[in-house]
Structure 1
């Protein structure tokens, strides 16, 4: 099993924008993003706190519809 890195909401939003998502709405501390395929997700921004691992897994699996391995490969390329 692959281990998820600690990712802040701000870093996740930057990553999602790099793979084609656009911010469509900001309401309070939550940012809603959507891509051209119609996939959408909401990312909470709570300062510099890392996102809870369960929420990050849910976003990857259900909202982005990608495997954990795919996400880690893309995220590692983005961070370099």
Structure 2
């Protein structure tokens, strides 16, 4: 599986996985699915790979 580093594409991946936008503050979105919460910097074209891996792990997609 290729990891998305573009926040717009990553947001689509998370929403397709069942996450819903809960709130937005500044340049960050909070998404939630059940008891899992993910914070996504948005909009940002190139997220650092470590940040992307952390988001995927928090979402349970890795």
TM range (shorter): 0.7 to 0.9
Q: Which of residues 19, 30, 33 is equivalent to 2:31?
A: 33
CA RMSD of aligned residues (A): 1.8
Q: Does 1:43 align with 2:27?
A: no
Conserved 8 A contact 1:41-1:59 = yes
Higher gyration radius (CA) = 1
Contact 1:21 1:33 in 2 (8 A): yes
Q: If the length of structure 2 is used for normalisation, what is the TM-score?
A: 0.82
- Return structure 1 stretches of 4+ with deviation > 3 angstroms: none
How many residues get paired? 62
| Structure 2 residues not aligned, in runs of 5+ | none
Q: Secondary structure at the match of 1:58?
A: helix
More strand by share: 2
Higher helix share: 1
